[in-house]
Amino acid sequence: MNITLSVDDQVVAKARHIASVRGTSLNQLVRDYLEDLTRHNDMKSVLDELDAMWSESTGRSQGPWTREELHERS
Which residue from 9, 3, 12 is spatially nearest to 31, judged by alpha carbons? 3
DSSP 29: H
Instruction: Report pTM.
Output: 0.55
26 touches 12 (CB < 8 A): yes
Spell out the per-residue pLDDT of the chain, length 74, in tens. Answer: 889 999 999 999 999 999 999 999 999 999 999 988 888 778 888 888 888 888 887 777 777 888 888 888 76
29 touches 18 (CB < 8 A): yes
Separation of alpha carbons 31 and 35, rounded Å: 6
